[in-house]
């Protein structure tokens, strides 16, 4: 059974209207209520990435407060059509601003795919706000890149999707259409949001870290190699999962909860 949609709230960060939800723990024990900030991937939104795959249910039932935003250009947040507005630094700043808005001093942070990249920039710039970080669906692609952006931009802007021949572009276009996204906003986001980390920057991530990547994920790059760059980081291998099917994987959820318990 797919969980019902959650009511969204809105706040403003430097003139950009951003939507989010904030769900308290529903654990009978009620002893945690530690916040977990979730940052979704490209062309997705807080519901598609975290509510419908039951992450929100799993975490709140396990005693955590769950906060998630629709990234700028996505979901019900403001759409912007200038690529410069989508640097990972600015988008990570939206996540930090949401913590400020909710008076949350520190949270576990988990991002998937593009959201993992944003989580890395947040952990590097504001480690005092990050209790731990989980990078889902992105490994060495964080450092070496994940391919050219232009075929995806072209596919997003193409009026007739039937003529798209680039396989990765075709997949991103299909996902954008399935999520009823604003394709012009996504094209602007894709054009500038894929800034890479250097090996040195990865080595400076100082918070407890888990990297979770599917064994059939042809986008993310090696999770094990990326985890090896980060002092003390753990790697969770999602057997038989690709970039899309990893998101709701049971072992992914259980692995994240075990990671939190071990901190």
Average pLDDT, the chain: 96
What pLDDT shows up at residue 116?
A: 98
Banded pLDDT at 108 (limits 50, 70, 90): very high
Is residue 165 over pLDDT 60? yes
Is residue 12 over pLDDT 70? yes
What pLDDT shows up at residue 69?
A: 98
Q: Which of 27-41, 90-104, 115-129 has the lowest mean pLDDT?
A: 27-41
What pLDDT shows up at residue 184?
A: 98
For the chain, domains (ranges, CATH) are: 9-145+195-261 (3.40.50.1820)
Banded pLDDT at 31 (limits 50, 70, 90): low
Banded pLDDT at 4 (limits 50, 70, 90): confident
Spatial CA neighbour of 65 closest among 98, 100, 104: 104
List, for residues 55-79, the tens digit of each pLDDT value: 999 999 999 999 999 999 999 999 9
Q: Which of 19-33, 88-102, 238-252 has the lowest mean pLDDT?
A: 19-33
Enumerate the β-bridge partners of residue 182: none
Q: Which of 5-14, 20-29, 223-232 has the lowest mean pLDDT?
A: 20-29
What pLDDT shows up at residue 3?
A: 87
Q: Provide the CB-side half-sphere exposure for 73 (13 A, CA).
A: 28
């Amino acid at each position: 059974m797919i969980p019902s949609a959650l009511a969204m709230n809105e706040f403003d960060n430097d003139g950009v209207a951003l939507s989010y939800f904030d769900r308290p723990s529903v654990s009978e024990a009620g002893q945690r209520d530690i916040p977990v900030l979730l940052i979704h991937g490209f062309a997705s939104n807080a519901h598609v990435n975290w509510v419908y795959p039951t992450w929100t249910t799993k975490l709140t039932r396990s005693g955590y407060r769950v906060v998630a935003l629709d990234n700028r250009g996505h979901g019900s947040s403001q759409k912007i059509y200038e690529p410069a507005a989508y640097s990972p630094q600015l988008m990570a700043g939206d996540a930090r601003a949401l913590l400020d808005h909710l008076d949350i001093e520190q949270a576990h942070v988990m991002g998937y795919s593009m959201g993992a990249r944003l989580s890395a920039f947040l952990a590097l710039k504001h480690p005092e706000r990050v209790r731990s970080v989980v990078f889902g669906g992105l490994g060495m692609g964080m450092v070496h890149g994940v391919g050219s952006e232009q075929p995806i931009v072209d596919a997003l802007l193409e009026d007739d999707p039937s003529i798209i021949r680039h396989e990765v572009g075709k997949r991103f276009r299909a996902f954008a259409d399935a999520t009823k996204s604003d394709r012009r906003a996504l094209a602007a986001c894709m054009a500038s949001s894929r800034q890479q980390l250097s090996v040195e920057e990865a080595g400076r991530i100082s918070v407890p870290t888990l990297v979770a990547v599917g064994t059939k994920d042809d986008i993310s790059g090696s999770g094990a190699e990326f985890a090896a760059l980060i002092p003390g980081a753990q790697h969770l291998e999602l057997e038989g999962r690709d970039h899309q099917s990893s998101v709701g994987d049971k072992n992914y959820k259980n692995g994240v909860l075990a990671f939190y318990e071990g901190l």
